[in-house]
Amino acid sequence: MKKVYLLLFIIVLLLSGCSQLQPYIEKIPFLGESDSNAVERNDPQDATDTTDNNELDQDTQNQEESTDSDIVEEDVLTLESQYFNEVVQVDGKNIIQNPLNVLALVNKEFSLPSDYAPKDLVRPNVPFSFGDMGVEKSFVRKEAAGALERLFALAKKDGIELFAVSGYRSFERQAMLYDAEVKKSGEEAAQQVVAIPGNSEHQSGLAMDISSRSVGLALTEEFGETVEGKWLAANAHKFGYVLRYPKGKESITGYQYEPWHFRYIGVEAAQIIYEKGMTLEEYFSIVKKI
């Protein structure tokens, strides 16, 4: 059939000029195929490309979701059960039964036994605001003492002069301080600045108040604005100490801002708390027991 059309085309070509060929060409099926048919022949390929692109987009989305899932999984904090408080209620109070735990959460909710006194108290080899007197407050637990010495050594190397002010405090000594503050300011006000006996971290032997000459060796909020106070807040975690009562966290810790009060909890937990800007209470609210 195509040969017939070709023959007709040749005859027309001979009878007419080239300028008159177009109408005839359009009528010849195999010579006048439209561009649209050519496009249609390409459509399957385009559809395939689109499908491939959609599949790639889906794969990418799945990979991103998988990555996000991995990140969430990696962010889950875990802690051995031995580092959580074991408590029993006595007269309405939660009394900690494992006070030797270096991560013991001592606050207004959890109390140390009234007769608890660490057996491994030592005097760290660091400068004290009261000199060389071997008084009760110059002691801390052995592990905390070693870490404090290393912390003070780095401070000295960096040209920072620090002084230890108050470490271990017995239940009886805490009772004396609390009663004196109640008489001075009233019970409600006293509880914002002085812990009730049994609820003080100082009794754990893991806390140390620190100051500097720039504030007259006093325990004051001004210490937080000094070169020494800022250095301490930025470096204590490297040795397992954390700023226990930071500014802006009063409603969580239950105590006013104390830039001088540092608590030993070990390097691993201290690093996490420092990096995430948390308190010890917030740490235990998110960490998973294993």
Catalytically annotated residues: 258
Helix H or strand E segment including 103: none
Q: Is the pLDDT of residue 73 over 70?
A: no
How confident is the model over 6-37, as pLDDT tens digits? 555 555 445 455 444 454 445 444 444 444 44
Q: Is the pLDDT of residue 174 over 50?
A: yes
Could you give the 3-state DSSP secondary structure of residue 29?
Answer: coil
Burial of 132 (0-12, 13-18, 19+ CB in 10 A): exposed
Which of 211, 269, 261 has its CA nearest to residue 240? 269
pLDDT class of 65 with cuts at 50, 70, 90: low
Helix (DSSP H) and strand (DSSP E) numbers for the chain: 10, 11
What is the DSSP annotation of 158-188?
TT---EEEE----HHHHHHHHHHHHHHH-HH
Q: What pLDDT is recorded for position 35?
A: 43
Length of the chain: 290
pLDDT class of 41 with cuts at 50, 70, 90: very low
Could you give the 3-state DSSP secondary structure of residue 125?
Answer: coil
Q: What pLDDT is recorded for position 125?
A: 98
Catalogue the E-assigned strands of the chain: 78-79, 87-90, 93-96, 110-111, 121-122, 140-141, 163-166, 207-211, 241-245, 258-264, 288-289
Q: Is the pLDDT of residue 49 over 90?
A: no
Could you give the 3-state DSSP secondary structure of residue 141?
Answer: strand
Across 135-148, average pLDDT: 98
Q: Is the pLDDT of residue 106 over 50?
A: yes
Q: What is the pTM of this model?
A: 0.75
Adjacent-strand bridge partners of 166: 209
Q: What pLDDT is recorded for position 156?
A: 98
Measured distance CA(6)–CA(103) in Å, rounded: 97
Please, what sign has the CA dihedral across residues 185, 186, 190, 196?
positive
pLDDT class of 192 with cuts at 50, 70, 90: confident
Measured distance CA(217)–CA(110) in Å, rounded: 30
Least confident window among 59-63, 143-147, 166-170, 219-223: 59-63
How confident is the model over 216-275, as pLDDT tens digits? 999 999 999 999 999 999 999 999 999 999 999 999 999 999 999 999 999 999 999 999
Could you give the 3-state DSSP secondary structure of residue 31?
Answer: coil
Q: What pLDDT is recorded for position 75?
A: 74
Cβ atoms of 244 and 253 within 8 Å: the answer is yes
How many C-beta atoms lie closer than 10 Å to residue 117's C-beta? 15
Q: What are the φ and ψ backbone dihedral angles of 201, each rounded to 5 degrees?
A: -65, -25
Measured distance CA(104)–CA(27) in Å, rounded: 95
Could you give the 3-state DSSP secondary structure of residue 287?
Answer: coil
- Is 6 or 195 the better-scoring residue by pLDDT? 195
Q: Is 160 left (phi over 0), alpha (psi -120 to 50) or beta?
A: beta
